[in-house]
Amino acid sequence: MDKFSYYDTLSNLIPGIIFLWALSVLGPFSTNGLSLILTGNAIVDSILLLAIAYLTGHLLQFLSKSSIEIIIKRLFWNGYFFSEIFLVAGFKKCNETELNRYLTFAENELKIEKESINLLRDPATISHEAKRKVATGVSQTIYRIIDARSSDTSKGQKAQLQNIFHSFFRNFAMVFLILGILDLLSLFHHPIDITLKMMGIAILNFLLTGIFLYQAKQRGEYYIKGLFWSNT
């Protein structure tokens, strides 16, 4: 297993472990839930818990791609993937000097048509829906070519690591969003039993969701920026 596969595994396993632990600490469930499936054998139970945590992590990853990713795109990236708007001048996600460097590389080395490059350079492009759609597609295409070129080289390794952290923090945002929702449902279902501690835990979960959401956004941007900087 190479180190990126190792990190990728941890980005699923660790959130899964934290989620199972937090269900009874930051969530509304009792500590007796997991004990129902344990055997009493330390080795078997450890393997069983790791397997459950890993599968839970994969489920969290699926859910986070379907929800947290969409939230990040709408909150921070105008409803697009960051790679779709990074090279579009009108979105101002890249300073002028770096943008000129990347677009010159795309035109000269990747043989992207000059008409498409000019579309990316024009700040007014984002004001026209048809042009904006073409421009975001070109930006995404350039990213994919550079990503494919760097996937098996040392140049893009630091950037690829940031992408793994993006997935890691996105999964954690999903963990605490689920816990927060479960806490709210529990509060509404048992309004008589509401305590200040219970409300505080629910607020904490949503606060942690926001923190990890922002961290995932940052790592996603670091990934794209690092990929272009190290390969152009």
Residue 24 has pLDDT above 50, yes or no: yes
Residue 4 has pLDDT above 60, yes or no: no
pLDDT value for 191:
64
pLDDT value for 1:
46
* Reported pTM: 0.85
Angle between helices 3-25 and 157-189 (to 10 degrees): 10
Q: Which position has the token pair 């992408």?
A: 163
Contacts from 60-65 at CB under 8 Å and sequence distance 24+? 60/12, 60/15, 60/16, 60/19, 60/171, 60/174, 60/175, 60/178, 61/11, 61/12, 61/167, 61/171, 61/174, 63/174, 63/178, 64/167, 64/170, 64/171, 64/173, 64/174, 65/170
Q: Which position has the token pair 């899964």?
A: 16
pLDDT > 90 in the chain, percent: 55
Q: Which position has the token pair 């990074």?
A: 86
The pLDDT confidence band at residue 46, using thresholds 50, 70 and 90, is confident
Q: What is the CA radius of gyration of the chain?
A: 22
The pLDDT confidence band at residue 51, using thresholds 50, 70 and 90, is confident
Residue 6 has pLDDT above 70, yes or no: no
pLDDT value for 8:
65
The pLDDT confidence band at residue 176, using thresholds 50, 70 and 90, is very high
Average pLDDT over residues 138-157: 82
Q: Tell me which of 71-85, 96-110, 146-160 is least confident.
A: 146-160
**How many residues comprise the chain?**
232
The pLDDT confidence band at residue 189, using thresholds 50, 70 and 90, is confident
Q: Tell me which of 53-67, 110-124, 191-205 is least confident.
A: 191-205
pLDDT in tens, 103-125: 999 999 999 999 999 999 999 99
pLDDT value for 231:
84
